[in-house]
Chain A
Amino acid sequence: MEVLSLIGNGFLVALTPLNIGLLLMGCFVGTLLGALPGLGPVNGVAVLIPLTFAFGFDPTSSLILLCAVYFGCMYGGRISSILLNIPGDEPAIMTTLDGYPMAVQGQAANALAISGVASFVGATIAVIGLSLFAPVLARAAIHFGPADYFALYILAFATIGGIAGVDPRKTLLSALIGLMLATVGIDPISGVPRYTMDNFHLYDGIQPIVALVGLFAISEILLLLEKTAKERPKAIKVDRWLPQWSAIWPTRWAMLRGSGVGFVAGVLPGAGASLGSFMAYVFEKQKSNAKGTFGKGDPRGVAAPEAGNNAAAGGALIPMLSLGVPGSGTTAVLLAMLISLNVQPGPLLFERQPDLVWGLVASLYLANIALLILNLPMIGIFTRLMMTPTWALMPVVAAITFVGVYGISNSIFDLELMVFFGVIGYIMRKLDISLVPLVLGLLLGGDMERALRRAMSISAGDWGILIASPISITLYVLTAGFLALSVWLAVRDHKQSKAERLTEG
């Protein structure tokens, strides 16, 4: 019952005219960004963060705007998957498998409607889960000591990106580069300037916002410049905009199952929406593919991954808000924004700033309703806007990125740093090294070091304190489990690709 009254208060925060306006704007812009091939939620949110600073809103309103963009992106990703066979972002890849064949068979309107409703079901279940579980997790996390936090950060690094199947060494190296960058600046405990190269701009450290806008937005533009020669395929025409209930209803169980699977994947630190949609699709295929229709335009193959990726997106907010450890790339970006706004996510956030937490939760309920309303009848507008040529869109995005970052600090040095990180981001993406662990390292590095040093101060230099509590031991066991899993997956992928090469040869 306590939760209900807290959510009730949250609605009072969310229902102010400013927050409602931001919510609607975020939903619209997010859906559009998600629908544009190439610009996924991480990039979308990264591009908009500087703008949010420029607006000068309070943290609650900023977070409501960006979370609406985040949810909108997750909704919008499916539009280009279904109509163009190009996933707007990684989690939308699974939707292309059955969504595009459905569209080819003249079922585009139904595929869009099913995916829209599935997104709503998945995201709503995730927000209900968020309302119920996040406070419980936060309450449990109050018992965490500095050594336990240190173990928690290690778990976050071990899991993020690791299960995706890329080389775990690269993922870990990316996280370490982030941690290295986090040590630049004045050491908060001893006051010694570290790795600043006597450049006073670096005394404050590297601003995570500047780094991540460069890493994601600028590198995206450099990547797009490789692709301009390719003509974009023509979108499949959608004959009608009103959905058929008879097409949606049979997919209800697939939506619910997908939501459940996706939610669990989202809550795990680091797993994120890509894993959510992948697991939801695979699970549904195993359950319902008796006639071998999956991959050929089965509506359940659209409903499950869409519900899964949206549920995962909501689930990923749970560890971000209650532990201060993001569950996905986009929540890492949101965390960076919160830290820059002097809001420290974690267990105490629920006690100290209930308006922010519950205002956000309430606004997510509202955002889902707004997105459903936007996405069913207004799909035609998004389809037309989606066809904006890249040459017209990206230069404007680039300019907004520059002015946004300049607006935060009025510093040309920050702009130069952003371009530098853009080049680094481009190189790392080309080498198949995930950027999210780097951002996470940069974000959490300071806290991780402080937790370690505080723990060592308590124990007067005895390293045994790191494994002295049951919480930290449990977290290390989980870390070892995740590492073993990611190594096993990497070895399996390596063997598979080797076998494929042999059969091709």
Chain B
Amino acid sequence: MSVRLFGAAVFAIAALYTLHSQTYQITFGDVLGPSVFPLIVGIPMMILSASLVIFPTGQVEWPGRDRLWRQAVALAAFVGYTLVMEELGFPIATAALIAIVGIVMGGAPWRAIALGAVFGPGLWALFDKVLGLPLDFLGTLFG
């Protein structure tokens, strides 16, 4: 079922992609133009993805609920990190990221928090001070 769903999603994207390619106009001196290559890519994509919908192969085992929530929390931590990194500053955001991912990976909470507390500022010091990559220490919220 998963392969079929994937095939259907790719088919829809490929169809939109192919259709949209026709809006790009050929300019003077450009024999093929910007729309032909997307056509060459999009049409076989549609054929292959349709064939996966009709004749799917492979067995897919998705994780059970006990694992799925861990992945969801980790993903939320990743997205959250991108949203708050510039506001909170690098050390605090990174410490939180490491602690959360450490906990969902099965580490004892206090150990994961300690790991974050060490590596959050540690990585900031390494990148900002040693490697010269400017990273906000306090962020826009505190700075």
Which residues does A use to contact B, with CB under 8 Å?
Answer: 54-56, 167, 169-170, 172-173, 176-177, 179-180, 183, 187, 189-192, 194-195, 218, 221-222, 224-226, 228-229, 389-392, 394-396, 398-400, 402-403, 406-407, 412, 415-416, 419, 422-423, 427, 430-433, 449, 452-453, 456-457, 460-461, 494
**With contact pairs A224-B105, A398-B101 given, residues A190 and B132 touching in the complex (Cβ less than 8 Å):** no
- Give chain A residues whose Cβ lies under 8 Å from the Cβ of B10: 173, 177
**B135 adjacent to chain A (CB < 8 Å):** yes
Interface pair B78/A218, CB less than 8 Å apart: yes
Question: Which 10 residue pairs across A and B have the least CB separation, nearest first?
Answer: A391-B107, A395-B101, A391-B105, A228-B106, A395-B98, A415-B82, A187-B34, A449-B37, A395-B102, A176-B45
- Give chain A residues whose Cβ lies under 8 Å from the Cβ of B62: 430
- Give chain B residues whose Cβ lies under 8 Å from the Cβ of A452: 32, 37, 40
Interface pair A167/B57, CB less than 8 Å apart: yes
Interface of B is mostly: helix
Interface pair B97/A395, CB less than 8 Å apart: yes
Which residues of chain B from 44 to 76 have any CB-CB distance to chain A below 8 Å in the complex?
Answer: 44-45, 48-49, 51-52, 57-58, 60, 62-63, 66-67, 70-71, 74-75
Interface pair B106/A431, CB less than 8 Å apart: no
Interface pair A403/B135, CB less than 8 Å apart: yes
- Give chain B residues whose Cβ lies under 8 Å from the Cβ of A423: 75
Which residue of the partner chain B has the closest CB to A428? B6
Interface pair A391/B48, CB less than 8 Å apart: no
Question: Of B45, B71, B100, which is within 8 A of A173 by CB?
Answer: B45
Interface pair A189/B58, CB less than 8 Å apart: no
Which residue of the partner chain B has the closest CB to A186? B34
- Give chain A residues whose Cβ lies under 8 Å from the Cβ of B57: 167, 169-170, 494
Ordered by A's residue number, 17 sampled pairs between the chains whose C-beta atoms are within 8 Å are A55-B131, A179-B41, A180-B17, A180-B45, A183-B38, A190-B30, A221-B74, A225-B67, A394-B101, A395-B115, A396-B98, A396-B119, A399-B97, A412-B85, A452-B37, A461-B31, A494-B57
Interface pair B85/A406, CB less than 8 Å apart: yes
Which residue of the partner chain A has the closest CB to B120? A399
Interface pair A189/B34, CB less than 8 Å apart: yes
* A207–chain B nearest beta-carbon distance, Å: 15
- Give chain A residues whose Cβ lies under 8 Å from the Cβ of B104: 225
Interface pair B127/A194, CB less than 8 Å apart: no
Number of interface residues of B (CB under 8 A): 73
- Rounded to whole angstroms, the CA-CA distance of A56 and B134 in the bound complex is 13
Interface pair B132/A56, CB less than 8 Å apart: yes
**B14 adjacent to chain A (CB < 8 Å):** yes
**With contact pairs A180-B45, A228-B70, A390-B106 given, residues A419 and B30 touching in the complex (Cβ less than 8 Å):** no
Contact with A along B85-126 (1 / 0, CB 8 A): 110001000100111111111110001100110011001000
Question: Of A55, A167, A395, which is within 8 A of B116 by CB?
Answer: A395
User: Which of B33, B48, B103 counts the most chain A CB atoms within 10 A?
Assistant: B48
- Rounded to whole angstroms, the CA-CA distance of A494 and B55 in the bound complex is 13
Interface pair B32/A391, CB less than 8 Å apart: no
**B141 adjacent to chain A (CB < 8 Å):** no
**With contact pairs A187-B34, A195-B17 given, residues A431 and B107 touching in the complex (Cβ less than 8 Å):** no
Which residue of the partner chain A has the closest CB to B69? A225
- Give chain B residues whose Cβ lies under 8 Å from the Cβ of A176: 14, 41, 44-45, 48
**B8 adjacent to chain A (CB < 8 Å):** no
* A255–chain B nearest beta-carbon distance, Å: 36
* A21–chain B nearest beta-carbon distance, Å: 14
* A65–chain B nearest beta-carbon distance, Å: 13
Interface pair A391/B70, CB less than 8 Å apart: no
Interface pair B38/A453, CB less than 8 Å apart: no
Interface pair A226/B63, CB less than 8 Å apart: yes
Question: Of B24, B81, B135, which is within 8 A of A194 by CB?
Answer: B24
Question: Of B27, B42, B75, B99, which is within 8 A of A222 by CB?
Answer: B75
Question: Of A54, A169, A453, which is within 8 A of B37 by CB?
Answer: A453
User: Which of B13, B81, B119, B133 counts the most chain A CB atoms within 10 A?
Assistant: B133
**With contact pairs A390-B105, A403-B127, A415-B82 given, residues A225 and B119 touching in the complex (Cβ less than 8 Å):** no
- Give chain B residues whose Cβ lies under 8 Å from the Cβ of A461: 31-32
Interface pair B79/A419, CB less than 8 Å apart: yes
- Rounded to whole angstroms, the CA-CA distance of A169 and B104 in the bound complex is 36
**With contact pairs A222-B71, A391-B102, A427-B6 given, residues A453 and B17 touching in the complex (Cβ less than 8 Å):** no
- Give chain B residues whose Cβ lies under 8 Å from the Cβ of A221: 74, 101
- Give chain B residues whose Cβ lies under 8 Å from the Cβ of A54: 127, 131, 133
- Give chain A residues whose Cβ lies under 8 Å from the Cβ of B101: 221, 394-395, 398
- Give chain B residues whose Cβ lies under 8 Å from the Cβ of A189: 30, 34
Question: Of A180, A187, A190, A453, which is within 8 A of B41 by CB?
Answer: A180
User: Which of A419, A422, A431 counts the most chain B CB atoms within 10 A?
Assistant: A431
